[in-house]
Amino acid sequence: MINFNYETEFSLKDEKVISNWILDTISEEGYKLEEINYVFCNDEYLHKLNVEFLNHDTLTDIISFDYSVGKLIQGDIFISVERVEDNAKDFSVPFKEELHRVIIHGILHYCGYKDKSDSEAKLMREKENHYLEQLV
């Protein structure tokens, strides 16, 4: 089950399409879905989580809490819509594209991909691009 929750005025216009895309991604990566909760929020909301749970006093676009066991995906993904808007402007891409990239980025972490080293980040970006192409 994929749940979309909103702690801000923003809401996805195409929840069903996005849900199917996420499910297809999880399946293609060889995993199964248990439950994912997306929470769309603002910078302030996500900053509080970042400080409280990760001891990071910075703004970020996404925080994910992974409760997966083996190949069974489960977790909570918090996304700051404000950060995504700013990043879209900084990267000169449409908001929707950046939002979709962040949405799938969290899922790819649950599928075992990391992005700490340059080589890991390169592979993560390749995977993001691959799945972004799948979203029509």
Binding residues: 105, 109, 115
Contacts 24+ apart (CB under 8 A), 86-92: 87/61
DSSP secondary structure letters along 43-97: HHHHHHHHHHHH---S--SEEEEE--BTTEEEEEEEEEHHHHHHHHHHHT--HHH
Annotated binding site for Zn(2+): 105, 109, 115
Cβ atoms of 111 and 29 within 8 Å: the answer is: yes
CB 63 within 8 Å of CB 78: yes
Phi, psi at 36, each rounded to 5°: -125, 130
Distance of alpha carbon 59 from alpha carbon 25, whole angstroms: 27
